[in-house]
């Protein structure tokens, strides 16, 4: 493992080849701390989310060790909450896996958005980025990439991301443990209505994105379909709602893009005709 405080280790050919950068150790630490600082405001909203997950875990049939292991190895808040609901309903493992897969399809879009920015990194770095790519870390990284130059992207991106990832990861595991402890001290917490905080959190995450027709159509379809399919067994309505919303949102997006391309083409043709008329 690289010793960030050993200048010789930081500048050795082996380390440079494995990290894909020639940046000095002090600069690496600076970027790690910068990524961590940028993530701290996001933690304010994630803390109650993690605590609620730990609180509800055992009450949903998941052991304390199982809840901690899920936070360590899965590290996906929405999927973990959905898995808890499905477990408490006695749903089979295949349905749980399929449902959480559908819910996490948004991460494909996250990956597509930054793939050009991380393709120069070695495989291990890309694996770390893929594992830790939460909504919060993606938003922070994408904003930092937009504001930075090419040199930063090639030499500092992974260290900045590492700081963000470790901050979110450590917070999520710690809050899970705190939630489990509170759940053991107050076994009736499941009757306090804390699970509504999950719905409120997702509503708060979605609202800022309702600025375009495709996003608005996606949310409306998801809401309508979830109500209409609520009685389907094994929570299959969740999968139906997610797939329907993605299909409608994508259709609106493609239609909007086609409309813009058509308008642009007409403008080009009009400009061409005006040029011809002037030449005459």
Element (H, E) at 47: helix 25-59
Q: Could you tell me which of 158, 72, 74 has the C-alpha nearest to residue 114?
A: 158
pLDDT of 169: 96
Question: With 90 as the cut, is the pLDDT of residue 3 above it?
Answer: no
**Residue that is last in its domain, among 145, 166, 197:** 197
Q: How far apart (Å, rounded) are the C-alpha atoms in residues 144 and 157?
A: 9
Q: Are residues 161 and 273 in the same domain?
A: no
Is residue 97, in this structure, part of any structural domain at all?
yes
| Calpha distance 261→237 (Å, rounded) | 36
CA pair distance 25, 21, nearest whole angstrom: 11
Tokens matching residue 42? 């996001």
| Per-residue pLDDT at 86 exceeds 50 | yes
Confirm whether 278 is domain-assigned.
yes
Evaluate whether 3 touches 28 at the Cβ level (below 8 Å).
no
Could you tell me the residue range of the domain that residue 18 belongs to?
Answer: 2-197
Average pLDDT over residues 225-243: 81
Asked if residue 145 lies in contact with residue 114, where contact means CB atoms within 8 angstroms, the answer is: yes
Mean pLDDT for all residues in the chain: 81
For 119, residues 6+ apart whose C-beta sits below 8 A from its C-beta are none
205 in any annotated domain: no
Last residue of a domain, one of 197, 231, 256: 197
Residue 95 burial (CB count, 10 A): 17
Q: Has residue 204 been placed in a domain?
A: no
The reported pLDDT for the residue numbered 198 is 59
Confidence band of 279 (pLDDT split at 50, 70, 90): low
């Amino acid at each position: 493992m690289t010793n960030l405080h050993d200048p010789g280790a930081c500048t050795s050919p082996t380390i440079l080849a494995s990290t894909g950068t020639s940046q000095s150790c002090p600069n690496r630490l600076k970027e790690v701390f910068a990524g961590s600082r940028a993530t701290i405001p996001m933690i304010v909203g994630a803390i109650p989310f993690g605590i609620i997950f730990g609180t509800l875990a055992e009450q949903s049939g998941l052991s304390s060790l199982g809840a901690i292991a899920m936070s360590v190895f899965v590290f996906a808040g929405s999927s973990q909450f959905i898995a808890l609901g499905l477990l408490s309903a006695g749903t089979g493992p295949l349905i749980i896996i399929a449902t959480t897969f559908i819910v996490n399809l948004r991460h494909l879009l996250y990956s597509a958005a930054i793939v050009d920015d991380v393709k120069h990194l070695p495989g291990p770095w890309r694996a770390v980025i893929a594992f830790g790519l939460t909504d919060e870390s993606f938003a922070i990284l994408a904003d930092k990439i937009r504001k930075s130059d090419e040199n930063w992207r090639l030499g500092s991106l992974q260290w900045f991301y590492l700081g963000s990832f470790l901050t979110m990861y450590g917070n999520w595991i710690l809050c899970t443990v705190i939630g489990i402890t509170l759940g053991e001290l107050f076994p009736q917490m499941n009757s306090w209505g804390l699970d509504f905080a999950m719905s409120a959190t997702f509503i708060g995450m979605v609202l800022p994105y309702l600025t375009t027709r495709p996003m608005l159509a996606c949310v409306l379809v998801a809401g309508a379909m979830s109500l209409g399919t609520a009685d389907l067994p094994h929570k299959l309505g969740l999968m139906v709602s997610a797939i329907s919303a993605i299909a409608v949102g994508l259709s609106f997006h493609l239609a909007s893009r086609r409309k813009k391309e058509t308008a642009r083409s007409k403008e080009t043709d009009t400009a061409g005709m005006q040029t011809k008329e002037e030449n005459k």
